[in-house]
Structure 1
Amino acid sequence: MAQYARRGIHGQTVEAIARRILTGEIAAGATLNIVALQEEFDVSLTALREALKVLSAKGIVDARQKRGTFVRPRADWNLLDGDVIRWQFAEGPDERLLEKLHEVRAIIEPAAARLAATRATEDDLAALDQALTEMAEADGDPAAAVAADLAFHRALLAATHNELIERMEVVMETGLAERDRLVHGGAAHDDPVPSHRAVVDALRERDESAAETAMRELLDKAVRDVEKARGRRGSQ
């Protein structure tokens, strides 16, 4: 998960500057006023430079002689970094980013389910079953529902036994959590267990096509759930 979430003054400074850049408050190409930022955040120059090193490592800022520290073009940013994704949700659900992340999931997860149908071990299936149990027991507890859903999708990626696919959880995790908070944080919603169980059943049967289809249907349901949640928010 995100490395710099809630980590004291250092983490707060990193996040505050990042959010200003990601929202466009500080535009690409702009040179940062180091003295003003130091005074505003009431941190030492060393602490501020350490915060900027974090953003530099993520491709967001750079420093050059005579030019100073400046914001790099968006094309250079590491948009697949877990922190960068999380920072974009800091002010609440970002519907455009949620849609982009759903498109990524729609490409990756059905294929991952198909692969997992041929590779999942008994331990993998046990992890998925455990996530289903936690999902069923989370009724009425939004935080538990989010945690159970994340556990399920991490277990699915792990069941592919492809370390590159497993790493995609970094890309999807924050967006999935935000989507879940939107859906589970409102009024009553459909039981998520049956759609998730259909995926596990297909994996257990080693049915690649059924696993892929079940995952596509699960993702279609996820879109409908978000639309319902948005409808509830709009009517309040």
Structure 2
Amino acid sequence: MVSKPGRGLHGQAVEELGRRIMRGDYPPGTVVDPAKFQTELGVSQTVVREALRVLAAKGLLESRQKRGTTIRPRADWNLLDSDLLRWQGSSAPTDGFLGDLAEVRAIVEPAGARLAASRRTPSDLETLRQALDAMAAAGTDADAMVEADLAFHRALLDAAHNELLSRMEVVIEAGLRVRDRIVHGARHFADSIPVHQELLDAVEAGDPDAAVAAVESLLAQATDDLAAVQARKDKEDRAADVATDPPPKETP
């Protein structure tokens, strides 16, 4: 098992096994073999047992006498768990996963912006300004841009001053992190700072309708950016296929 800075063996085992399950390496109903995991991961029985216990708490596994430990149906998984969201989006997210996240963002963020425009405090506005300044300072640093963008949207939900809505940040962060990683990693995206500024201005002015409109513009831009990246990738894949196709045989 490759060592990851900042994580003990237990945390690394949870990460590795969780990613495998989310990837579909072990279909629902599969009986898992803890002894095999010990060998593959190079860890102790105790580490594997504790990792399986954590994954069971997330709804991925269940243990029964005489049946052993099995992968539970996907319908039983705690898909809003922050780790599950991160694992599902960290490798090669499917169109279905990206579509689901986009729909949830379209439901949550406009409502959050509307409340933020009515309830924001001077402290909330300062946090939003700092995040926007960090976005501007990031330049072409994709990692810095991603973190600043996440900070802005997290601050926006917090400015709504609704504890339950703030907890939705795990979903928003998953959607944003996946989108930003794809788009900023490809360095093919529209400048989102102006529309973020529009959103901040609307929240500061206490204009709920303008805040909602600004968020909807942001979401539309996010969709367009992803579509542009995917279109470019498809074009490059087609060009690569043509380049590797064998030349046609000459007819005598």
TM-score (ref. length: structure 1): 0.93
- Aligned twin of 1:185: 185
2:51 and 2:94 map into 1 onto residues whose CA distance is 25
1:81 and 1:218 map into 2 onto residues whose CA distance is 25
Q: Show structure 2 runs of 5+ residues with no match.
A: 237-252
- Aligned twin of 1:219: 219
Q: CA deviation at 1:73?
A: 1.3
- Aligned twin of 1:13: 13
1:173 and 1:188 map into 2 onto residues whose CA distance is 20
Deviations 1:203-232 (A, max 9, x none): 111111111111111111111111112223
Q: CA deviation at 1:94?
A: 3.2
1:31 and 1:188 map into 2 onto residues whose CA distance is 43
2:192 and 2:89 map into 1 onto residues whose CA distance is 24
Tell me if the contact between 1:135 and 1:192 (Cα under 8 Å) persists in the aligned partners.
Answer: no
2:116 and 2:222 map into 1 onto residues whose CA distance is 21
Q: CA deviation at 1:189?
A: 2.9
Q: CA deviation at 1:181?
A: 1.5
- Aligned twin of 2:116: 116
- Aligned twin of 1:58: 58
Q: Report % sequence identity.
A: 51
Amino acid aligned to 2:142: P
Superposed structure 1 runs of 4+ greater than 6 Å apart: none
Q: CA deviation at 1:71?
A: 1.1
User: Which region of structure 1 is more displaced relative to structure 2, 169-178 or 193-202?
Assistant: 169-178
Amino acid aligned to 1:234: D
1:40 and 1:148 map into 2 onto residues whose CA distance is 37
2:186 and 2:92 map into 1 onto residues whose CA distance is 14
Tell me if the contact between 2:114 and 2:208 (Cα under 8 Å) persists in the aligned partners.
Answer: yes
User: Which region of structure 1 is more displaced relative to structure 2, 76-85 or 165-174?
Assistant: 165-174
Q: Does 1:206 align with 2:201?
A: no
1:41 and 1:108 map into 2 onto residues whose CA distance is 39
Tell me if the contact between 1:5 and 1:11 (Cα under 8 Å) persists in the aligned partners.
Answer: no
Q: Which has the higher contact order (CA 8 A, sep 6+)?
A: 1
Tell me if the contact between 1:6 and 1:12 (Cα under 8 Å) persists in the aligned partners.
Answer: no
Q: Show structure 1 runs of 5+ residues with no match.
A: none
Q: CA deviation at 1:233?
A: 2.6
Query: What secondary structure does 1:89 align onto?
Result: helix
Query: What secondary structure does 1:80 align onto?
Result: coil
User: Which region of structure 1 is more displaced relative to structure 2, 126-135 or 226-235?
Assistant: 226-235
Q: CA deviation at 1:11?
A: 2.2
- Structure 2 matches for 1:1-236, cutoff 5 A? 7-236=7-236
TM-score (ref. length: structure 2): 0.87
2:25 and 2:110 map into 1 onto residues whose CA distance is 37
Query: What secondary structure does 2:70 align onto?
Result: strand
Amino acid aligned to 1:86: R
1:19 and 1:97 map into 2 onto residues whose CA distance is 15
Tell me if the contact between 2:118 and 2:206 (Cα under 8 Å) persists in the aligned partners.
Answer: yes
Q: CA deviation at 1:87?
A: 1.1
1:90 and 1:216 map into 2 onto residues whose CA distance is 25
Q: CA deviation at 1:89?
A: 2.5
